[in-house]
Amino acid sequence: MYRSHNNGALRLAHAGQEVTLAGWVQKVRDKGFMIWIDLRDRYGITQIIVDEERSSKALLETAKALGREFVIQVKGTVIERESKNSQIPTGEIEILASQLTILNASLTPPFTIEDTTDGGEDIRMKYRYLDIRRNPVKDNLIFRHKVTMEVRKYLSNEGFIEVETPYLIKSTPEGARDFVVPSRMNEGQFYALPQSPQTFKQLLMVGGMDKYFQIVKCFRDEDLRADRQPEFTQIDCEMAFIEQEDILEVFEGLTRHLLKEINGVVVDKFPRMDYDDAMRLYGNDKPDIRFDMKFGELNEVTQHKDFKVFNSAELVVGIAVPGGNAYSRKEIDKLIDWVRRPQVGALGMVYVRCNEDGTFKSSVDKFYNQEDLAKWAAKTNAKAGDLICVLSGEINKVRPQLSALRMELAERLGLRDPKVFAPLWVVDFPLLELDEETGHYHAMHHPFTSPKPGQLEMLDSNPAAVKANAYDLVLNGNEIGGGSIRIHDKKTQAIMLKHLGFSEKDAKAQFGFLMDAFEYGAPPHGGLAFGLDRLVAILGGQETIRDFIAFPKNNSGRDVMIDAPAAIDDEQLKELNLKLDL
């Protein structure tokens, strides 16, 4: 037996007991005649004491030879500590060692294994196994486990069955590139790793599974953005014989359960917002509604004066920054610089100070009088003491620009409290989205999403106006889940694929299996998927998903610990039929 207790278990009540502990040496304090060792494992830290009076010489020698992160086993007696440490649960006792065995030595670790470490991100990723010994990382992994356990518990209780679907499949379009795997046995042919189990979960519905879920890895070869992982985890779900309302209810229930069990937060019914309203009021399809600062559209009250910039703009839109009139001229100039940064891309910003006495002072006083500005204030809901920030230009550009400014200002004003949770359903997404570069429409969600009843015919006449039974769950300005009611008949699916630019032949080659299945009694069905990594990070009050993944990839998609991706040798390439004979 390696240990009788773990290092977080012993209390004063154990005094006098003979125990055996094992773990890592966090710290050795050597006073010459007395040595203290902090022994650590996943459960905590226990202090070990070895001294000249009560311990053998050999024991003292062994203790002196210990270094940080040595793995040791200690036998000894639990005794009351003279100077107690109220910071840790084992702080009232220590172990008077009678035997000390080195189970494994350790090199000096490249960074300190403590809550606040001296190691930078790169070195910690290279030695992630050491990083995992630190409380903040370890606690995050335990936290993630708790969340997934609660998910499984809740969904099982609701009658969902967890079913595994294959990883070596054919392309499932979720809008990214596929990672592919060459097949050795089928020369020149490749599997694709799933961007999601979308088609399989639909086939499970055809198979009569009725309620499916899976905590599953998905793979998307996207251009990497900060905090995106090429492989990530979804809570993937699907139900048969349901309507949108049923789905929203079940998964609102799941989210509410998590908020209660994990965060102790009780949330009422989640509000819902149309996609169009979200875009109009927040410039964004995942609005953070923990704070207000809604957009006020100002075309009506700004155009047809002499200010050319506004007159020629498709959209003039502003927000009221609470208390913003207190900003100095310099601070406002800095804000203007901020919106002009290439990452935001605005050309400039007009502002209005709302003075305490009810008057206004704007950067465009030449063109607008007090009465005009009062109208702007009414539209943006600005109060005395606020600052109105106004941007203008093309709708598709201005909205994200002002949305970025809104989020930045809210952050600065401390309005994005991670302990406050504001979930929101965004519903009625458009079915299609115009790709500005190619001029083609593609599926906003994915090609299996059904149009709203009666809108299929509009695909020809006005494709941009067709709405889908598609919904996203948003939490604190992050999309944590999304899904849709699916197409479940072959004819509609074929029409949809045609509109997405698939020839009949391509549609059959790629999705023939699904459309064939639809001919054998496919039930009406729909579902959604949560992004588990992000969900866990938000519930954990943090923004970085990497911190909740045991072995994440860096921003270039590399695992710097195992050094992947890597070249493979010629033999292997040949075996896979990938070696070009030049």
* Residues engaged in binding ligand ASP (CB under 6 A): 174, 196, 198, 446, 482-484, 527-529
Cβ proximity to ligand ASP, 430 vs 482, nearer residue: 482
Instruction: Give least dist CB 231 to ligand ASP, A.
Output: 13
Structure tokens at 532: 């588990």
Instruction: Give least dist CB 546 to ligand ASP, A.
Output: 20
* Helix axes 490-499 and 504-518, enclosed angle (nearest 10): 150
Cβ proximity to ligand ASP, 389 vs 470, nearer residue: 470
Instruction: Classify residue 342 as exposed, middle or buried by CB count within 10 Å of its CB (0-12, 13-18, 19+).
Output: exposed
Instruction: Give least dist CB 481 to ligand ASP, A.
Output: 8
Alpha carbon distance 351, 361 (integer Å): 8
Instruction: Give least dist CB 235 to ligand ASP, A.
Output: 10
Cβ proximity to ligand ASP, 446 vs 534, nearer residue: 446
Instruction: Give least dist CB 526 to ligand ASP, A.
Output: 8
Residues found in the chain: 582
Cβ proximity to ligand ASP, 114 vs 479, nearer residue: 479
For residue 354, report the phi and psi dihedrals to the nearest 5 degrees: -100, 100
Cβ proximity to ligand ASP, 92 vs 479, nearer residue: 479
Alpha carbon distance 250, 247 (integer Å): 5
User: Closest Cα partner for 257 from 535, 478, 472?
Assistant: 535
* Helix axes 395-412 and 329-340, enclosed angle (nearest 10): 130
Rounded to the nearest angstrom, the gap between the alpha carbon of residue 51 and the centroid of all alpha carbons in its chain is 50
Cβ proximity to ligand ASP, 140 vs 510, nearer residue: 510
Cβ proximity to ligand ASP, 196 vs 255, nearer residue: 196
Q: How many CB atoms lie within 10 A of CB 420?
A: 11
Instruction: Give least dist CB 534 to ligand ASP, A.
Output: 12
Q: What is the three-class DSSP state of 519?
A: coil
Instruction: Give least dist CB 198 to ligand ASP, A.
Output: 4
Place of tokens 């400039």: 348
Cβ proximity to ligand ASP, 144 vs 446, nearer residue: 446
Cβ proximity to ligand ASP, 196 vs 380, nearer residue: 196
User: Closest Cα partner for 209 from 247, 246, 240, 237?
Assistant: 240
Instruction: Give least dist CB 528 to ligand ASP, A.
Output: 5
Instruction: Give least dist CB 413 to ligand ASP, A.
Output: 33
Q: Please tell me what DSSP assigns to residue 178.
A: P
Cβ proximity to ligand ASP, 482 vs 552, nearer residue: 482
Cβ proximity to ligand ASP, 176 vs 259, nearer residue: 176
Instruction: Give least dist CB 402 to ligand ASP, A.
Output: 27
DSSP string covering 93-146, please? EEEEEEEEEEEE--PPPSS--SSS-S--HHHHHHTHHHHTTSHHHHHHHHHHHH
For residue 460, report the phi and psi dihedrals to the nearest 5 degrees: -80, -50
Q: What is the 3-state secondary structure (H, E, C) of 547-572?
A: HHCCCCCCCCCCECCCCECCCCCHHH
Instruction: Classify residue 57 as exposed, middle or buried by CB count within 10 Å of its CB (0-12, 13-18, 19+).
Output: exposed
Which amino acid belongs to residue 373?
L
Instruction: Give least dist CB 234 to ligand ASP, A.
Output: 6
Residue number closest to ligand ASP, CB atom: 196
Alpha carbon distance 36, 52 (integer Å): 12
